[in-house]
Amino acid sequence: MMVISFLQGLARDGYEIPPIIAMSGATQRPGLEQLLVTSKDLGATATLTKPFEPAELLILINQLLERPT
């Protein structure tokens, strides 16, 4: 989450930043699902829960790259 905050700070300073995909694994553990929610609140563009198929990640990346800026 520190990385997301850092990147958002760069964006506020006028730098262009890429879309941010936050990933978390083992969401059965208490609190990890909340990390993804918090990541979105901090500015993550999308979230992905591990384990995931490589094709899922590629689809998400392509969707984010096709979005208008």
Name the strand (E) or helix (H) holding 47: strand 46-49
pLDDT tens, 16-40? 988 999 988 765 667 777 888 888 8
Q: Is the pLDDT confidence value at 10 over 90? A: yes
Region 47-61 average pLDDT? 92
User: Residue 55: its pLDDT value, please?
Assistant: 96
Q: Look up the pTM and report it.
A: 0.75
Which long-range contacts link 17-20 to residues 24+ away (Cβ below 8 Å)?
A: 19/45, 19/46, 19/64, 19/65, 19/67, 20/44, 20/45, 20/46
3 state SS of 49: strand
User: Residue 37: its pLDDT value, please?
Assistant: 84
User: Residue 27: its pLDDT value, please?
Assistant: 59
Phi, psi of 23 (to 5 degrees): -125, 140
On the CB side of 50, how many CA atoms lie within 13 Å of its CA?
A: 9
